Structure 1
Amino acid sequence: METREIHRHAGWLSGLAAVLVMAGCAGTQSVPPSDTLAGSSPSSQPAAAPSAATPPPAPILVAQKYVVKRGDTLTGIASANNCSIADLRTWNKLGTGRLRMGQVLRIVRQQPLPSSGAAGAQAAASDGAAANQATAQATASTASDRQVVKDTKRHSSAVALTWPASGKIVDGFRPGQNRGIQIAGRPGDPVRAAAAGRVMYAGTGLNDYGSLIIVQHNADFLTAYAHNRKLLVKTGDIVRQGDEIAEMGDLDNSRVALLFEVRRDGKPVNPMPYLPSSQG
């Protein structure tokens, strides 16, 4: 498997390269779309166009489950859930066989963020002291954000991480066999940023990763958080170490667990040397 190296001198391009590298390692397969009827023979129908790979401006993604009923087709399920057949195949690793009654499918829905209008009305109703305090906090946050962005462009030989989740390590790092460690937990357990950085990707466009977040920390290191139930950040967001960025889930995974990766120059490395010796 060939891995592309992240470009060292362009912040956004390096993040895009990281996504492309991970996409290559995920082993995405192209499956021609077709319609499949549960409980009857397959029939060919035009497929919906695949959804855009670029994440929406402000996505909050929630993985839900759908139980196939007699007579269900991929076209009908996709239409009822406002997605494409290609989406259903990606989320559920579907081949060309027919659907089965009782089969459980994962469906990823997007929930809009609270409207800025409501936030603006609430701010307008605040008294002068509260408004001044909010302004001061926003100014400090902006300065801090600028510093984080600067750090993502600097080279470093290391990165200091904290544990992204609490739980038992059920799959350790094995060079050449996997890409990170898996930390088991319960649905909805918090997934936290292991270090401050900028979200370079948040979405479901890569096979084998489910709902994925990639955070760049400096010009050499990034971390990835896969198989989430719900994403709480979007591409471009600035996160601080310990911020909750997702809820643990099992999207595109056989169990509820966080797949946590550390990548140096685009290549997966063992996360353990960069993490504290204990989760406490």
Structure 2
Amino acid sequence: MNKNWLFVSGMILLVITGCATSDRPYSPADLTGVKQVPSRTVKTQPKRQQAYSSSTRNMTAARGYYVVKPGDTLYSVAFANNMDYQTLALINGIKPPYTINVGQRLLTDTVKSEQKLYRVVKGDTVYNISKRHNLTPAQLASMNGIDKNFNIRIGQMLVVGRKSSAAAAKPAAAQNRTVAPVSVASSGNKVSSAPASSARKSGSSAPAMSASSKPATSVTSSSQKDNSSSSGYQNVAKNNAKVRWTWPYNGKIIEGYSRNNKGIDISGNKGDSVRSAAKGKIVYAGNALRGYGNLIIINHDGDYLSAYAHNDAILVAEGQSVESGQVIARMGNTDAKSVRLHFEIRHNGESVNPLSYLPKK
């Protein structure tokens, strides 16, 4: 009996030992992808807000949302979701300098956005866009952060209202009373005070106007201001497509632009210099985007972004301005099967063939 008990006990011990020492095909660390590099533009939130698994992020993204991870910037999120960074900022109510927080959920589907968007086309002005959407130029400028000279560019995405039917049914006067207080104080003052001063100069009876209701006076004044100085809002949308492109690296193209490859891949030697293809500003430098390795994204005049992937070393920092031809990285093979530079150009968020922009060899 004792022998049988010892035999059974031994077998149980062997089974337990085997389970404890069995090798796993991978460790949890193998699933994390590339090492995350903190971004200066992302604020770290408490750990409980960072506890998002990859499966949770994927499910959320599938519904048209994206959960911000350490190392992300607004530009990198837009890049990963094939969006224009300004559109991403607009539909999420994010304003320059486009700070985002770890754990923050960003809407990436414009169809689900409550904002009514409009993309500027050739011939547009702040005045005619605002008129078509029942806004004053000052309101349109305030809603979109347009500068005091009312400069807009072709391809720029603007918020022109909300999709809510209730909001759309409001009369122009109601919209003026609702939106104007939200606008920048200086813009609101300019719209309401200029007609009043001109009325005083012309000898009009200011008290008579004051006797009427304030909302009506505000609407009338705004309308007079817009009509009398409409030429000030007539700056035709500009096309900022004046980027002078140069090759980021002089090597052999081993993979061209296609549906599955959003840029071109150029072979080279590890450690070779990678140069900026045009003058611009570094808006992302890190490795949070899986599949790109050490990645650099440069913003060129708002319309164009250029991307440089698989670098061995990054030599620039986010927020830094760079000149055309400036060395920004050392070539490598991070997240790639061989040493190469993966180079992309994106126009208003859409990938384009770099060979259509780079000088002919």
Q: Give the shorter-chain TM-score range.
A: 0.3 to 0.5
More helix by share: 2
Higher relative contact order (CA 8 A, sep 6+): 1
